[in-house]
Amino acid sequence: MGIVNFRKIMIATDGSVCSRIAANYAIELARLSGGTIYAVYVVSTDYFSSMAVDFDWERMNEALKKEGHSAVNYVKRAGEMERVNVDPILLEGHPAEELIRYAEDNEMDVVIMGTLGKTGLDRLLLGSVAEKVVRHSKVPVMVISEKCKYRG
């Protein structure tokens, strides 16, 4: 095994405190390795499959896109402060599937993501995007849960 070179670092962000902490780790890794950050937010279509037909899903979708722009722009600003190049990416679909696809299609060296640390029934009902990415990604995944416990 040769030297590990982190030139293409993907941060999966949802705008949460946990993903911001993970972004800080990713930015430091990029700063040390001279790499580029790809800040990826997935506008989840999971919400829309269970909504009533008359629900204004267009407005909900726009709200999620706005949240996504805010999340990736936070990472971009944080990277700029450390002189790290950050490419903001907004995708749409099922979060874990889209994150895995993007990382593999774009030959990322590592995926970094935070986790809320949900356990028990919450995790069973909601599923864990981080867990799905870890289990199915061909790209190495670093999950940051330090100082980031779920309080829900």
Instruction: Give residue 112's pLDDT band: very low, low, confident or very high (50, 70, 90).
Output: very high
Residue 11 has pLDDT above 50, yes or no: yes
* Block residue for tokens 């995708």: 91
Residue 66 has pLDDT above 50, yes or no: yes
Residue 50 has pLDDT above 60, yes or no: no
Q: Taking residues 105-122, report their average pLDDT.
A: 78
Which pTM does this prediction carry? 0.85
- CATH number for the segment(s) 8-144: 3.40.50.620
Residue 130 has a pLDDT of: 87
